[in-house]
Structure 1
Amino acid sequence: MVVDDQAVVRAGFAAIVDAEPDLHVVAEAQDGAQAVRLARELSPDVVLMDIRMPGMDGLTATRLLTAEPAESAGVVPRVLVLTTFDQDAYVHDALRAGASGFLLKDALPEELLAGIRVVASGEAMLAPTVTRRLIDAFADTAPAPAPELLTSLTPREREVLTLVAAGHTNAEIAGALGVTTGTVKSHVNALLGKLGLRDRVQATILAYDLGLARPRRTHRE
């Protein structure tokens, strides 16, 4: 489902998506309230969500969609936020609202399609510039002590969580640890379940919130 208050923008996104043999737009919505209503009726797998819209904005709609009980709304959709704004506040708010990905509207069509497929598969999708900003946002914050919930993780699961928070893929983590990608996937699924997290985005936020992961300093002009 494509959600945007501008009809031309919705039509553009819909045309890109519908041109793909494995993707289909089931609905379009012009604001958050309509998006929530249509999602309950149609149960889309992925929602492309604008942030700034009159009436109910995209952040509120995302929060409602991702928090909807499965028994009353079917499959909870994966939300990929699309916006012209790349300020940190929007990134943080969208991810905390439950979004599985964040892309700028000036992304190339192939980047948009890749993002849809990534979040549909259960992974997280962040634009490269957004990932850098998200990590940098924690650079000057004091790490908080890890809570008791982290004691449920094995040492290897904590190691995998740290690597996930650093933005590494399963294949990259497997190479670093000398194990198979299947083993890494099992570790990721295990730690998500133990921590009550939905996906890698939530895992990344938690890791940085707790000080378990810290960004590496870079020299800037």
Structure 2
Amino acid sequence: MIRVLVVDDEALVRSGLRMILEAAGDISVIGEARDGAEAVSAVGRLRPEVVLMDVRMPGMDGLTAAARILKAPEAPKVVMLTTFDADEYVHEALRLGAVGFLLKDTPPRELASAVRTVAGGQAMLSPSVTKRVIEQYADRAPSRAEAARRQLEGLTDREEDVIKALARGLSNAEIGRELRLTEATVKAHVSRVLAKLGLANRVQAAILVHDADLT
């Protein structure tokens, strides 16, 4: 079971997230917190693997809490939740070390899939958020585009299909359905592609594909 802490100042939101996640079968919500201060305390006490945390909360907000949580040894994976995909939140969350940034209207199946993805050590952003991060950071200057294309040359056709789908913000399950592969096969392809390219996570892979103008 993947151990999750849910952090949101609205009880109804916390309850909804708990129901969605626990319905997945392999995810256990081991605790809830109403603000950042409670989240920091709960992480130390409950040792979750993943923290789903709202950005905007009274008192200590989600970004401040994330900064404190992520400084600790063996810190959990932190996924920020918000109703807004404002750039400053995305950039600051990623700078702090958060591995995910999801909008609260993410469909239930995708939310559970995101928890599994980050628990497995990969980054996960909502497709709309991924697009905005890429647009902010990826410069399509000719020299950079050429360098990106050279970096991608060693990929097989199937690996290129996978990384292109990944760059569109698709989850492993969605890539599998599109390419008619099992989710386990997609996961293996993604891990191999990241290793081949020397990349840390899916966001870096998406930026590389964007640089190469393959989107």
Q: How far does residue 216 in structure 1 lie from its aligned partner after superposition?
A: 3.6
Q: Which amino acid aligns with 1:12?
A: G
Tell me, in whole angstroms, the C-alpha distance in 2 between the residues paired with 1:200 and 1:217: 15
Are positions 1:34 and 2:42 aligned together?
Answer: no
Q: How far does residue 62 in structure 1 lie from its aligned partner after superposition?
A: 1.5
Contact 2:134 2:210 in 1 (8 A): no
Provide closer, same or farther for how the CA distance between residues 30 and 142 of structure 1 changes in structure 2, counting only shifts above 3 A: farther
Residue segments in structure 1 that go unaligned for 5+ positions in a row: 71-75, 146-154
Counterpart residue number, 1:152: none
Tell me, in whole angstroms, the C-alpha distance in 1 between the residues paired with 2:118 and 2:167: 15
Counting only pairs closer than 5 Å after superposition, residues 138-157 of structure 1 correspond to structure 2 as 138-139=137-138
The alignment partner of 1:80 has SS state of strand
Counting only pairs closer than 5 Å after superposition, residues 157-172 of structure 1 correspond to structure 2 as 167=167
Counterpart residue number, 1:11: 15
Q: How far does residue 186 in structure 1 lie from its aligned partner after superposition?
A: 5.2
Contact 1:83 1:103 in 2 (8 A): yes
Residue segments in structure 2 that go unaligned for 5+ positions in a row: 145-152, 180-184
The alignment partner of 1:24 has SS state of strand
Provide closer, same or farther for how the CA distance between residues 55 and 156 of structure 1 changes in structure 2, counting only shifts above 3 A: farther
Counterpart residue number, 2:78: 79
Alignment partner of 2:58 out of 51, 54, 61: 54
The alignment partner of 2:84 has SS state of coil
Are positions 1:188 and 2:187 aligned together?
Answer: no
Provide closer, same or farther for how the CA distance between residues 55 and 189 of structure 1 changes in structure 2, counting only shifts above 3 A: farther
Provide closer, same or farther for how the CA distance between residues 42 and 131 of structure 1 changes in structure 2, counting only shifts above 3 A: same
Counterpart residue number, 2:149: none
Normalised to the residue count of structure 1, the TM-score between the two structures is: 0.68
Q: Which amino acid aligns with 1:214?
A: D
Q: How far does residue 139 in structure 1 lie from its aligned partner after superposition?
A: 4.8
Q: Percent identity at matched positions?
A: 47
Tell me, in whole angstroms, the C-alpha distance in 2 between the residues paired with 1:105 and 1:126: 12
Runs of 4+ in 1 over 4 A off after TM superposition: 139-143, 168-172, 180-184, 189-192
**How many residues get paired?**
188
